[in-house]
């Protein structure tokens, strides 16, 4: 029986015959040449396209024997849509486009994407970076959610959607620089990676409580 093919970023579809793939489009920021290429490949192989919640374009209907050729034609990296890893870093347009933005979510989010996209972890992890409190990148329901506001960056941890939705809890607030946010995220990921529990980050925080988690990450209480 056919299965997902992780190393080719291929997810078996409902017909149990064909696969879906999704090229990595960091934060959903793309350009017309890339979109044309995706459309050309879709036309060539008869694929259906869908824009996903992970800010990617899923390409449905790839035959197993054509997977390599499709990836060669695309000349793009697979998005981490399956497996135990950092699946996606969702990023809102931020100060580069949005009139409501307070901080540059695109700059911070793309730095996070570079470091963490597809990093293997005990379970899946999602991140979201929003440029204001409206949190359009759904930062409140991401394992690590970051929100910009007038006093700095806020980092939320332990959120997730899915069958047991959970809101992220505030780990630290009013962070002044992107570098400091990156340091906090690095510590969160390190603590999570080294903990024996294998669930999502929210399960670990449920187990030990946000205060104990904060001490583990920051070495201090709020
Ligand atoms: S979160 Fe704020 S800055 Fe980002 S897109 Fe939404 S309104 Fe704009």
Query: Residue 65: which region, alpha, beta or left (left: phi > 0; alpha: psi -120 to 50)?
Result: alpha
pTM (predicted TM-score):
0.95
- Does 141 lie in the same domain as 205? yes
What's the total number of domains in the chain?
2
pLDDT digits (tens, 9 = 90+) for 42-68: 999 999 999 999 999 999 999 999 999
Please tell me the distance between residue 102's alpha carbon and the centre of ligand 1 in angstroms.
8
Please tell me the distance between residue 45's alpha carbon and the centre of ligand 1 in angstroms.
36
Ligand 1 within 6 A of CB of 98 = yes
Which residue bears the tokens 């793939």? 21
Task: List the domain range (segments joined by +) for residue 178.
Answer: 86-218
Q: Which long-range contacts (CB under 8 A, 24 or more apart) does 181-187 make?
A: 181/108, 181/146, 181/153, 181/155, 182/108, 182/111, 182/112, 182/115, 184/155, 184/217, 184/218, 185/112, 185/116, 185/127, 185/144, 185/146, 185/155, 186/115, 187/217, 187/218
- Mutate which of 29, 55, 105 for ligand 1? The one with the most ligand atoms within 8 Å of its CB, which is 105
Strand stretches in 2-77, DSSP E: 11-12, 19-21, 48-51, 57-62
- Does 111 lie in the same domain as 172? yes
3-state secondary structure of 207: helix
Domain end call among 74, 95, 129? 74
Ligand 1 within 6 A of CB of 210 = no
pLDDT digits (tens, 9 = 90+) for 71-102: 999 999 999 988 899 999 999 999 999 999 99
Query: Tell me, what's the pLDDT at 71?
Result: 98
Residue 167 has pLDDT above 80, yes or no: yes
Query: What is the CATH classification number for the domain harbouring 203?
Result: 3.30.413.10
Query: Which sign, positive or negative, has the C-alpha torsion 56, 81, 128, 52?
Result: positive
Domain end call among 41, 74, 107? 74
- The answer to whether the CB of 160 falls within 8 A of the CB of 123 is no
Please tell me the distance between residue 84's alpha carbon and the centre of ligand 1 in angstroms.
29
- Mutate which of 28, 91, 98, 140 for ligand 1? The one with the most ligand atoms within 8 Å of its CB, which is 98
Q: What percent of the chain has pLDDT over 70?
A: 99
How many alpha carbons lie under 13 Å from residue 92 in its C-beta half-sphere?
26
Please tell me the distance between residue 130's alpha carbon and the centre of ligand 1 in angstroms.
6
């Amino acid at each position: 029986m056919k299965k997902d093919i992780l190393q080719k970023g291929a997810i078996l579809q409902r017909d149990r015959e064909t696969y879906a793939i999704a090229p990595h489009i960091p934060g959903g920021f793309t350009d017309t040449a890339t979109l044309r290429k995706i459309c050309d490949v879709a036309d060539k192989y008869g694929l259906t396209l869908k824009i996903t919640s992970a800010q990617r374009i899923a390409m449905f209907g790839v035959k197993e024997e054509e997977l390599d050729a499709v990836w060669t034609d695309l000349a793009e990296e697979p998005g981490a849509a399956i497996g135990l890893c950092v699946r996606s870093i969702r990023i809102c347009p931020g100060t580069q486009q949005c009139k409501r933005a307070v901080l540059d979510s695109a700059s911070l989010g793309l730095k996070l994407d570079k470091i963490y996209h597809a990093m293997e972890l005990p379970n899946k992890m999602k991140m979201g970076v929003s440029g204001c409190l409206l949190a359009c990148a759904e930062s409140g329901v991401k394992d690590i959610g970051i929100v910009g506001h007038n006093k700095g960056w806020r980092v939320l941890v332990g959120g997730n959607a899915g069958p047991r939705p959970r809101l992220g809890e505030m780990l630290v607030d009013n962070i002044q620089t992107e570098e400091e946010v990156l340091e906090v995220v690095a510590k969160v990921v390190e603590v999570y990676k080294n903990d024996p529990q294998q669930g999502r980050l929210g399960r670990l925080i449920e187990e030990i409580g946000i205060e104990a988690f904060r001490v583990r990450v920051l070495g201090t209480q709020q």
